[in-house]
Amino acid sequence: MGWFKRIKEGITTPSQEKREIPEGNWYKCPECNHVLTSLEHAQNYWVCPSCQHHERIGAGEYFALLFDEGKFRELAVNLTSGDPLEFVDTKKYTDRVKSSMEKTGLRDAIRCASGTIHGEKVVIAAMDFRFIGGSMGSVVGEKIARAIDYAIKNKCPFICISKSGGARMMEAGFSLMQMAKTSAKLTQLSNAGLPYISFLTDPTTGGVTASFAMLGDLNIAEPKALIGFAGPRVVKETIGKDLPEGFQRSEFVLEHGFLDLIVERKDLKDKLALIFKMLS
């Protein structure tokens, strides 16, 4: 057989034939358009090797990254949101929660678990943006509270990985109460002499930033994470001025004294282990 074949429109070689690429097998970086396989992307901790863009990942990925051998015991697994206000916007709140559960396989916007990091027992609470934008409702506040109680009981450090659009306004005042609730629980943790590491990822905004996310003994963040209360667009419209380059990104927030450290995802586990060793 020849190395080319004749078709109606002309001549084509095998290298010119369009090959179908199975959907989901490739990742294209939204920052630099670098393309690599999804497997390579996962093996690089979901970070672009070209520009170091840290893609958003969920609680499960952080647990696999941080806990020794990926082993952990999940806490307060079965908590789910109620509908105290019988809230309806474009759809019923109950329907929104149900569809988020089906889409993500999560019960709410946070998962909490205990395990070890380099042999040191820790409790980790990790938020997940896929569930209604990682919004903080009653379940998020209650799970953090129970995770802190578990850390106090077992005398181990507490880590919270924030990724949130803020308070879940479908629960209105019930959501805002979680700011005070989580802050009070962190005071109990501090009184017990146990460290709290707050790890802020993209994005950490609203009531989460205004409460537990900024109360760490150490506040650390991933590179270029959006961190603030109101978003840049709202701030710009409010003050009527252009914002500085990199406004509300991790590097900007670190420069202005609201963060202690920026840590790349690949270094996170070792850095946390070093911090715990220093604190102990």
Specify whether 38 is located in the same domain as 154: no
Mean pLDDT of 31-56: 95
**Into how many domains does the chain fold?**
2
Specify whether 47 is located in the same domain as 171: no
The reply to whether 26 falls in a domain is yes
The reply to whether 2 falls in a domain is no
Where does the pLDDT of residue 2 fall: very low under 50, low under 70, confident under 90, or very high at 90 and above?
Answer: low
Half-sphere exposure of 47 (CA within 13 A, CB side): 18
Angle between helical axes of 138-154 and 172-191 (0-180°, round to 10): 10
The reply to whether 137 falls in a domain is yes
Q: Encode pLDDT of 198-238 as tens digits.
A: 999 999 999 999 999 999 999 999 999 999 998 888 898 89
Specify whether 39 is located in the same domain as 128: no
Beta carbons of 130 and 105 less than 8 angstroms apart: no
User: Which H helix or E strand runs over 97?
Assistant: helix 93-104
Token digits of residue 88:
């309806």
Q: How far apart are CA 155 and CA 57, in angstroms?
A: 29
Specify whether 117 is located in the same domain as 30: no
Where does the pLDDT of residue 35 fall: very low under 50, low under 70, confident under 90, or very high at 90 and above?
Answer: very high
Q: How far apart are CA 78 and CA 80, in angstroms?
A: 6
Q: At which of 55, 74, 103 does a domain end?
A: 55
Mean pLDDT of 133-138: 96
The reply to whether 5 falls in a domain is no
Q: CATH number, domain at 228? A: 3.90.226.10
Name the phi and psi angles at 3, rounded to 5: -85, 0
Q: How far apart are CA 264 and CA 53, in angstroms?
A: 10
Specify whether 146 is located in the same domain as 182: yes
Mean pLDDT of 250-257: 96
Domain extent at residue 100: 56-279
Specify whether 100 is located in the same domain as 214: yes
Q: What is the CA radius of gyration of the chain?
A: 22
Percentage, residues of the chain above pLDDT 70: 91
Specify whether 163 is located in the same domain as 235: yes
Q: Is the pTM of this model over 0.75?
A: yes
Q: Encode pLDDT of 165-187 as tens digits.
A: 999 999 999 999 999 999 999 99
The reply to whether 38 falls in a domain is yes
Specify whether 39 is located in the same domain as 79: no
Beta carbons of 225 and 268 less than 8 angstroms apart: no
Q: Is 242 exposed, middle or buried (0-12, 13-18, 19+ CB in 10 A)?
A: exposed
Specify whether 62 is located in the same domain as 199: yes
